[in-house]
């Protein structure tokens, strides 16, 4: 039994990368100096000429080779390599962005500042009353 590999659909790859970059067809079209309809046609094309591919790659911030070899699996594998330890052990101390201060200390500090501001205000008002 013989299996043939399907050629890469470059237009679909361009479309997916553009979507992952949260870029609209109009923005890509403007970046390379063509109409939105041209981008739509390119994204529906199985192949794209090399010069146009270079322009699109530059506008998307990737290499032309990156567009050619793009796969959904590679994207998922890339994002799955990030570790989130905050849910693994159930403790905040092992979280990657844990606090370096005690939040309760910050509350006490804020309370003391508010209390001092209130004392200063009362003192000012007493002076104003005594001067009249």
> Nearest 5°: phi and psi at 71?
-140, 150
Q: What pLDDT is recorded for position 44? A: 93
Q: What is the pLDDT of residues 5-20, one digit of tens each?
A: 556 788 998 998 898 8
> CB of 37 within 8 A of CB of 65?
no
Q: Mean pLDDT for each 10-residue chunk of the chain (132 residues)?
A: 66 89 90 93 91 91 86 68 53 54 82 91 91 81
Report the 3 state secondary structure along 105-127: HHHHHHHHHHHHHHHHHHHHHHH
Q: Residue 15: which residues within 8 A CB-CB, separation 6 or more?
A: 43
Q: What pLDDT is recorded for position 39? A: 93
15: tokens are 């479309």
> CB of 11 within 8 A of CB of 44?
yes
The pTM of the full predicted model, rounded to 2 decimals, is 0.55
The structure tokens 């981008």 sit at 39
45: tokens are 């094309």
Neighbours of 40 (CB within 10 A): 14
Query: Which of 64, 63, 71, 58 lies closest to 8, judged by CA?
Result: 71
* Alpha-carbon torsion, ordered 35, 52, 56, 65, to 10 deg: 160
């Amino acid at each position: 039994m013989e299996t043939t590999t399907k050629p890469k659909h470059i237009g679909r790859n361009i479309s997916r990368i553009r979507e992952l970059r949260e870029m609209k067809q109009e923005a890509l079209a403007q970046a390379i100096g063509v109409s939105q309809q041209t981008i739509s046609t390119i994204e529906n094309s199985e192949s794209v000429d090399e010069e146009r591919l270079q322009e699109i790659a530059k506008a998307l911030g990737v290499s032309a080779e990156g567009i050619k070899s793009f796969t959904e699996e590679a994207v998922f594998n890339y994002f799955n390599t990030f570790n989130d330890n905050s849910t693994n052990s159930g403790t905040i101390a092992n979280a990657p962005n844990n606090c370096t201060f005690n939040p309760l200390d910050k509350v006490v500090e804020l309370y003391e500042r508010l209390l001092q501001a209130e004392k200063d205000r009362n003192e000012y008002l007493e002076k104003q009353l005594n001067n009249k």
